[in-house]
Structure 1
Amino acid sequence: MTEAAVPGARRGGASVPSVGVVIVTRGRRPRLLRAAVRAVLTQEHPGDLELVIVVDHDPRDTPGDAVARVTAQLAPVLASPPGRPRPRILSNRRTPGLPGARNTGIAALGTDLVAFCDDDDEWLPGKLRAQVAALTARPGALFASCAIEVEYGARRSVRLAGTDTITAAALRRSRMVMVHSSTFLFRRSAFRVDESAPGGQNEDWDLALRAAAVRPIVHVDRPLVRVRWGGSDYATRWADRIAGLEWMLARHAELAVDPRGAARIYGQLAFLHAALGNRAHACRWAWRAAATRPGEPRAPLALAVAAGLISAHRVVNLLHARGHGV
């Protein structure tokens, strides 16, 4: 994992950088995966555009079987527009899980820029053109994001940042959900995903923090990615999320400096422990959250879950319906 201070050279001296897109999948959501692939292939981009689909195969499958299954699922959408290379489907050759699969995709590309899209999300028209323009308009910029449209059931909520620049301080103060992995566009030579993230948790937040520490993130504050929360079990993987937050606190000591940001993490840990039934841990983290920032809303919410007044799943569903997480 390295951070570069300068962008890589553009292919052939062209004025428009080439873009490589990495989609990681296990082939469990073929309909959504096809929509994600179709949305990438129909993006307007005057430069070279490549798509790599990395199959992070289930341990019960052989890599060949998993790739064959995903290839069959994608057969209706694999034809590229004229002048575009056919998408490639590869097996994860690195650490099993999302971070290793993303690094497999990055290594397979030779483009100037790399973009991610989750297999259950969808780029909206104009996403790539707007981000490439914003990134190239700022000399030395390395990383770009954009606003999102959160889809949960029949509801859609727009999440804006209210700025065109995301700093490391802003990402420490708030997780900023719109700085989402499916919005990432960055210089391929500059970054890799940290494969030590437990269960692949918070690898995107870690990457964004590292990027913003080198140069502020260029942000297009228009909803150009549809992020689907309903099809993922991420929010309720309580133990994995605890491990991911503890990993972030150990890796980024600066997260404990800003009282608002620190209290948010402590409150999340309180809620997650409450969801697992660890009442003592939930109470300790809730007290720490409230002591760090009086009025931190996750502290009483965690205590309510710990006391059995409301279920953690009910809380998550209510928040997701409003386009928010815990």
Structure 2
Amino acid sequence: MASGAPTVSVIIPTRNRADLVCRAVRSVLVQSVSSIEIIVSIDGPDPVTEAALAQIHDPRLRVIVAPESKGAPAARNRGFEAATGEWIALLDDDDEWMPTKLERQLEIAARSSFALPIIASSLIARSPSADYTWPREVPSPAVPISEYMMVRTGLFSGDRVIQTSTVMARRAHFTQVPYLVGLKKHQDWDWLLKALAIEGAGLEFVPEALTVWYIEENRPGITASNDWRASREWALSVRDLITDRAYAAFLLLYVGSMAARTGQRDSLRPILSEALATKAFAWRHIAIYLSLWIIPPSTRQRLRRLVHGRAVT
């Protein structure tokens, strides 16, 4: 690391969400770790966001602007190339951090036995009506990472979560395994699967909730897609990194959810048939899959709040 370089480079991709990205930046500026740089990577011309960020007067903040929009993965990669810190921490523009987030992760990194540790943490998933502390089950070495990410253990989201804004890893790791540009969905899972496949890599987890993840707010992002076919094609592209059990669960719980959300009933049978063909499916996932087509999303959200949520204070 060059003399005077920050310990952590924070990469925030954004576009056309000036108020949100300023909130994210401010949550970084109050971190208990001061040896940081913040690189806001704007995905294409965006004068409003540039002007808003210019009102934050802190030398640790840097803004880079792409000449054209190419999506969140490309924006993150530009940030990786510009970073100078030994570590890189990811933050989405609509999330924010607790003040000790980086401090706690650096403590874990210092004690890690991995040459390339990836440090994640628990989070607060905040919706307009309730907070949830996720994940309810922390990662374990006994569970393959593809199964941890894709095999849901309950009816509702939040049992197993590794969310982008909780992740920190060495800069060398991100430059060795950049984000896949052009991928419209599952960019973070794609990166994590590939990054953990590198020799010397391993996952560390802080059980404290160090990030606030805003959910169910229906905001457009840099990258968004409900194309179930594209999700299936992505899973096939990383099939060698996914167990049969994880692949079956991904088809039933994620591909199926997108198809159900868009009302494409002609997909119900082929998705189910492919999952059954793996012979590694779980019957409870079959039941959840069928419920996706039967129970409206609004009803599932109300049930989740009843079972796992608490009122926002």
Distance in 2 (CA, whole Å) between partners of 1:209 and 1:168 is 16
1:246 to 233, 240, 257: 233
Q: Is the 8 A contact 2:36 2:60 kept in 1?
A: no
Distance in 2 (CA, whole Å) between partners of 1:20 and 1:183 is 14
Counterpart residue type for residue 206 of structure 1:
D
1:220 to 195, 203, 206: 206
Match of 2:257 in 1: 271
Give the C-alpha shift of residue 305 in structure 1.
4.9
Distance in 2 (CA, whole Å) between partners of 1:304 and 1:178 is 21
For residues 126-184 of structure 1, give each alpha carbon's deviation from its aligned partner in whole angstroms, at most 9, with x where no partner exists. Answer: 00000011112224243211111100112110113655x66595321121753111011
Distance in 1 (CA, whole Å) between partners of 2:136 and 2:110 is 20
Give the C-alpha shift of residue 274 in structure 1.
2.8
User: Which consecutive aligned stretches of 4+ in structure 1 deviate over 6 angstroms post-superposition?
Assistant: none
Is 1:170 matched with 2:158?
no
Distance in 2 (CA, whole Å) between partners of 1:269 and 1:315 is 20
Distance in 1 (CA, whole Å) between partners of 2:259 and 2:179 is 25
1:125 to 86, 99, 103: 99
SS at match of 2:204: strand
For residues 160-211 of structure 1, give each alpha carbon's deviation from its aligned partner in whole angstroms, at most 9, with x where no partner exists. Answer: 3655x66595321121753111011111112243334522x11111111222
Match of 1:25 in 2: 14
For residues 292-317 of structure 1, give each alpha carbon's deviation from its aligned partner in whole angstroms, at most 9, with x where no partner exists. Answer: 324233x34444554xx443x43664
Q: Is the 8 A contact 1:19 1:112 kept in 2?
A: yes
* Greater Cα offset, 36-45 or 283-292: 283-292
Give the C-alpha shift of residue 50 in structure 1.
0.4
Q: Is the 8 A contact 1:271 1:282 kept in 2?
A: no
SS at match of 1:216: strand
For residues 52-102 of structure 1, give each alpha carbon's deviation from its aligned partner in whole angstroms, at most 9, with x where no partner exists. Answer: 111113xxxxx2xx1x311222344x122xxxx341111136870000000
1:209 to 193, 208, 212: 193
Give the C-alpha shift of residue 227 in structure 1.
0.5
SS at match of 2:169: strand
Counterpart residue type for residue 194 of structure 1:
Y
Is 1:180 matched with 2:142?
no
Match of 1:144 in 2: 119
1:15-54 equivalences under 5 Å are: 18-28=7-17, 30-45=18-33, 48-54=35-41
- Normalising by structure 2, we get a TM-score of 0.80
Give the C-alpha shift of residue 275 in structure 1.
2.7
Distance in 1 (CA, whole Å) between partners of 2:51 and 2:282 is 54
Match of 1:69 in 2: 48
1:291-310 equivalences under 5 Å are: 292-297=280-285, 299-306=286-293, 309-310=294-295
* Greater Cα offset, 214-223 or 170-179: 170-179
| Equivalent residue pairs, number | 288
Distance in 2 (CA, whole Å) between partners of 1:320 and 1:121 is 21
CA RMSD of aligned residues (A): 3.0
SS at match of 1:72: helix
* Greater Cα offset, 220-229 or 244-253: 244-253
Match of 1:134 in 2: 108
CA pair 120-184 structure 1, distance change in 2 beyond 3 A: same
CA pair 168-211 structure 1, distance change in 2 beyond 3 A: farther
CA pair 280-318 structure 1, distance change in 2 beyond 3 A: same
Q: Is the 8 A contact 2:127 2:216 kept in 1?
A: yes
Match of 1:159 in 2: 134
Give the C-alpha shift of residue 242 in structure 1.
4.2
SS at match of 2:20: helix
CA pair 285-181 structure 1, distance change in 2 beyond 3 A: same
For residues 264-321 of structure 1, give each alpha carbon's deviation from its aligned partner in whole angstroms, at most 9, with x where no partner exists. Answer: 2111222322333332322221244355324233x34444554xx443x436644774
Q: Is the 8 A contact 2:251 2:271 kept in 1?
A: yes
Distance in 1 (CA, whole Å) between partners of 2:195 and 2:110 is 16
